[in-house]
C-alpha cells in the first residue's frame, strides 16, 4: 500500500486517502493528538515464550496486558522491521521481560539494553521496536539502542 500526504490546503485532518490514511501530521501539530486502538489479550496464566497476544489483536500497537501472578515474557512473535508495541501492564502482578532469553526463538527475543531483565509493574508501560538486522525486539531508550540511558519503563505517558 502506498500512503501519501493530502494535497496542500486540505485542512480536514481525518481525510482518508486510499481508504486507509489519516493525516497524522495535521492531527499531531494541531493538538488533536493521535489515537491508537487498544488490544486486551487474554490474561497471562503462565510464562510466555514466543508470545502472540492470545485473545487479542497483534496488529494493534497498544497492548493492555495482565497476569494472574508474576509472569515472564521471553519473546514476542511476529516481528517485522520497525514494528512497534506499547506494552502496558493493566493487571495487579508484575510482568518480566527477559533479556535475550533462549526459551523463545532467536527472532522473537527481547534485548533490554541492560543485559538484565526488565520488570513491568502494575500501571507501567514500555515501548518496544523490532530490529530486523539483529532479529530482536529492542526496548526503546535502552543502552546500545542510541538512547544512552537505562531502559524506559513509563509510569506516566505523555505525547507531544
Sequence-distant (6+) residues with CB within 8 A of 52 are 58, 76, 77, 78
pLDDT digits (tens, 9 = 90+) for 79-98: 999 999 999 999 999 999 99
CA–CA dist 137, 140 (Å, integer): 9
- Cell readout for 148 is 544512552
114 vs 48, more confident: 48
pLDDT at 36: 78
pTM to 2 decimal places:
0.73
28 — phi, psi (to 5°)? -75, -40
pLDDT band at 13 (very low <50, low <70, confident <90, very high): very low
Q: How far is CA 72 from CA 4, 23, 103, 157, in A?
A: 40, 38, 11, 23
Neighbours of 153 (CB within 10 A): 18
Amino acid at each position: 500500500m502506498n500512503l501519501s500526504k493530502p494535497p496542500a490546503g486540505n485542512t480536514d485532518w481525518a481525510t482518508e486517502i486510499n481508504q486507509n490514511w489519516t493525516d497524522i501530521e495535521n492531527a499531531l501539530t494541531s493538538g488533536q493528538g493521535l489515537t491508537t486502538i487498544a488490544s486486551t489479550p487474554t490474561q497471562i496464566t503462565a510464562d510466555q515464550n514466543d508470545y502472540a497476544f492470545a485473545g487479542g489483536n497483534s496488529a494493534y500497537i497498544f497492548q493492555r496486558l495482565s497476569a494472574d501472578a508474576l509472569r515472564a515474557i521471553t519473546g514476542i512473535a511476529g516481528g517485522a522491521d520497525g514494528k512497534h508495541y506499547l506494552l502496558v501492564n493493566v493487571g495487579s502482578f508484575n510482568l518480566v521481560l527477559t533479556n535475550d532469553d533462549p526459551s523463545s526463538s532467536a527472532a522473537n527475543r527481547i534485548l533490554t539494553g541492560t543485559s538484565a531483565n526488565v520488570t513491568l509493574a502494575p500501571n507501567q508501560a514500555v515501548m518496544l521496536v523490532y530490529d530486523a538486522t539483529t532479529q530482536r525486539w529492542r526496548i526503546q531508550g535502552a543502552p546500545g539502542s542510541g538512547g544512552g540511558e537505562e531502559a524506559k519503563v513509563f509510569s506516566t505517558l505523555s505525547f507531544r
